[in-house]
Amino acid sequence: MPEQHAVPKDRSAVLTLMRLWPYVKPVRARLSIAVLVAVVASCLGLVIPLVLKWMVDGPVAHRDPGGVWLGALYLLLLGIAEAFLFGIRRWVVARPLSGVEASMRAGLYRHLQRLPVSFHDRWPSGQLLSRGTTDLMLVRMFLAFPLTYLVVNSTTIVVGFVILLAQEWTLGLVLLVPVVPLVIASSVFESKYALVARRAQDQVGDLTTVVEESVLGIRIVKGFGRHRSQALAFRALSQRLRATELDKARLLAGIWALITTIPEIAIGAALVLGTIEVADGGLSAGTLVAFLSTALALRWPVESIGFLLAMSQESASATARFFEVMDVAEEEDTSAYREDADGDRERHGGMVFEGVEFRYPDAEEGSVPVLARIDLRIRPGETMALVGATGCGKTTLTALVPRLHDATSGRITLDGEDITSMPRERLRELVSVAFEEPTLFSASVGENVLMGAEGAGDDELRRALSVAQADFVHDLPHGVDTQVGEQGLSLSGGQRQRLALARAVVGRPRFLVLDDPLSALDVHTETLVEAALRSVLRETTAVVVAHRPSTVMLADRVALLSEGRISAVGTHQELLRGNAEYALLMSGAESPSGEDLTGVTAAVTPADDVAGADAPAEGNSTR
């Protein structure tokens, strides 16, 4: 079962909602004041029946118009005070609770940025979006309304029944009879509604994912005429959500009917018995009026139980979904240096892979690793081209350098320092990356490029644009201040790729990782970019994933990756002459799966190119 659709843990709604305390704690004083004000306002409403009793048994019974007008004034003042206090409550909680929601949303966003790439590989973006929007809105609504009124209405019911029992305890007991069936019905409702509410929220996340993918992929949808199939898929998810919402409505209708009907029957019975007592002279008319008025005043607190329980369960589900993400461990960061046997830090310049192995976190135990025993040394200032058939692990290997993924075993060092012993912030200042699929943000051209180097200015921006042959930006409507739009889709693929390359080189990084950064360029532009890029590569240690001979020619040496292993290292010409698989790749074809084309490699892999004294000449050891 996917993680985002996991069955909720057996945790009560109360325990789940209590996890909100760290966020609520800063505003607890104002929230407490709001609850207290609301309790006072609600209890003022219970004073009104007592005023009515005084009026009926006093001025009305004694035909005193002045007393009636005085009683009316009391009722007016009580109503105004009640309304004023409820208004104060809303004003007191509005600002701090919006701050709680904003704090939780900012915390979620910050946490998402620090989660490993493997997490984002597993979770659909729509599920994360729904947690940061709809779910947090439900949490804020819970804190603003159900939380307050669960306390207020419970207090009002208790105070109201005390007044009822004090006025006429026999009739009060009649109204207490429905308590037991209402408690049982509420408990059953709560357990069933929790499951349905969670299912609905997960389905909202799925629906959000489909909408987002359809919008971002609108060119594919239109290009292949798939609008109908996408509409049908959306409709199917919408129907599922509609069915779930109807299940929620049926449950809510059932509990509401019970909570409304049972108390009404009890009030009717109390009215009949009270009328008989008044007729027999055992009860005053004013007391009966006050009793019934108090009972009617308690109708809303009692009838709201179902509604408040429903909102509380939805909020508990939303809280659980929020903490499902927040509980995922962030990328670990360390600053301890690894030391050799003599206690001195090893100093091997350049970029070195030593026995690196990698499996994806969700891979089955014992499965074949994506990368197996990678031993490779890239000298300081050297450019190494990484070549191999599709799916052999080139992109995965380059993703290990900036720690987008962590190696399962082995280690990678930069100038002798293990990357796992560096703070990630420092590592990513040293290493700059450009991916084959360029990602641009809804910002200006300049802002997108300058993301590659904090504090870089206009001179660095112009230089980076020149290196990437991205001078086309000066012809855009507002030059470097032109907004590129979501995902940069207002630009061509080659333009986006050049801006991504400019972003990678703008900070003059010590280490550069380029994953086939020129694949979308035409031949003429590619030649110009390569010529400008050579000056950058002379100043850095670089790994370049290459599929074309023209890109390979940028490198000093070439490493051939085959089935997750480095099978050969040498210059382009050496590998062309001595390695059949490499020659086949450079000719534009790929070897069939499982075909052995690497029989002549020993002569082209110098021993000092391989990290590890026991490594064979091919640059890789076997298990």
Rounded CA-CA distance 218/490 in Å is 13
Evaluate whether 75 touches 46 at the Cβ level (below 8 Å): no
- pLDDT tens for each residue of 226-265: 778 888 888 898 999 999 999 988 988 888 888 888 888 8
Stretches where the chain sits below pLDDT 50 are: 1-4, 6-8, 335-347, 589-623
What is the rounded end-to-end Cα distance, in angstroms, of the chain? 34
Q: Which residues pair with 561 in a beta bridge?
A: 566
- Cβ 556 vs Cβ 384: under 8 Å: yes
What gap in Å lies between CA 397 and CA 452, rounded to an integer? 21
With contact defined as beta carbons under 8 Å apart, do 405 and 357 qualify? Answer: no
CA distance 145 to 143: 6
Last residue of a domain, one of 311, 326, 341: 326
Residues 555 and 417 in one domain: yes
588-591 contacts, C-beta under 8 A, 24 or more apart: 590/389, 590/390, 591/389
Q: How many CB atoms lie within 10 A of CB 313?
A: 27
CATH number of the domain within which 45 lies: 1.20.1560.10
- As a residue count, the chain comes to 623
Domain match, 259 and 360 both: no
For the domain that residue 588 is a member of, what is the CATH number? 3.40.50.300
Q: What angle do CA 229, 230, 233 make, to 5 degrees?
A: 85
Which among 559, 571, 573, 510 has a CA at the least distance from the CA of 536?
510
Buried-state track 465-486, b at ≥16 Cβ within 10 A, e below 16: bebbbbebbeebeeebebebee
- Give a yes or no: residue 89 inside a domain: yes
Cα of 235 vs its chain's centroid, Å? 25
- Which SS3 state, helix, strand or coil, does residue 372 take? strand
Residue in the structure block whose two tokens are 């790929």:
590
The residue from 309, 326, 343 where one domain ends is 326
Q: Are both 297 and 360 inside the same structural domain?
A: no
Is 301 in the same domain as 358? no
d(CA 479, CA 418): 41
Rounded Cα distance, 249 and 247, in Å: 5
Beta bridge partners of 512: 432, 542
Do 390 and 536 share a domain, yes or no? Answer: yes
- Both 303 and 176 in one domain: the answer is yes
Helical ranges in 168-226 per DSSP H? 169-176, 179-216, 218-223
341: Cα within 13 Å, side-chain hemisphere = 0
> Who contacts 510 (Cβ-Cβ below 8 Å, separation ≥6)?
414, 415, 430, 431, 540, 541
Is there a domain that residue 620 lies in? no
Residues 400 and 531 in one domain: yes
Tens digit of each residue's pLDDT (9 = 90 or more) over 349-405: 789 999 999 988 777 777 788 888 889 999 998 999 999 888 888 888 988 998 888
Structurally, how many domains does the chain consist of? 2
520 with 598, same domain: the answer is: yes
Amino acid sitting at position 305:
I
Question: Both 270 and 374 in a single domain?
Answer: no
CA-based nearest residue to 385, from 169, 598, 553, 225: 553
Q: Which residue has the tokens 């499951």?
A: 195
- State whether the Cα torsion 234-240-241-245 is positive or negative: positive
List Cβ neighbours of 167 (8 Å cut-off, separation of 6 or more): 53, 287, 290, 291, 294
Q: Is 89 exposed, middle or buried (0-12, 13-18, 19+ CB in 10 A)?
A: buried
Question: Domain for residue 494, yes or no?
Answer: no
DSSP 8-state code for residue 604? G
On whether residue 594 sits in a domain, the answer given is: yes
- 45 with 99, same domain? yes
CA distance 89 to 148: 10
467 in a structural domain: no
Structure tokens at 86: 């409820």
Alpha carbon distance 357, 613 (integer Å):
18
Closest alpha carbon to 241 in 201, 210, 193, 214: 201
- Considering the domain architecture, whether residues 42 and 111 belong to the same structural domain is answered as yes
The DSSP code sequence of 443-476 is SBHHHHHHTTSTT--HHHHHHHHHHTT-GGGGGS
Q: Are 530 and 584 in contact (CB under 8 A)?
A: no
Residue 83 inside a domain? The answer is: yes
**Complete DSSP assignment for 237-251:** HHHHHHHHHHHHHHH
Residue that has been written with the tokens 């201040």 in this structure: 481
Residue 546 burial (10 A CB sphere; 0-12, 13-18, 19+) = buried
Q: In what order do the strands lie in the sheet with 417-418?
A: 371-378, 351-358, 409-414, 417-418
Could you tell me the residue range of the domain that residue 254 belongs to? Answer: 15-200+242-326
If residue 260 lies in a helix (H) or strand (E), which one and from where to where?
helix 227-280
Based on the domain organization, do 178 and 308 belong to the same domain?
yes
Q: Is residue 134 part of a domain?
A: yes
Residue 233 forms part of a structural domain: no
* Amino acid in position 402: P
Alpha helices, DSSP H, located in 298-384: 299-326
Handedness of CA 398, 445, 216, 548 (dihedral sign): negative
User: How is residue 516 written in tokens?
Assistant: 């086939």
- Among residues 326, 359, 394, the one where a domain terminates is 326
Q: What is the DSSP string of 100-152?
A: HHHHHHHHHHHHHHHS-HHHHHHS-HHHHHHIIIIIHHHHHHHHHTHHHHHHH
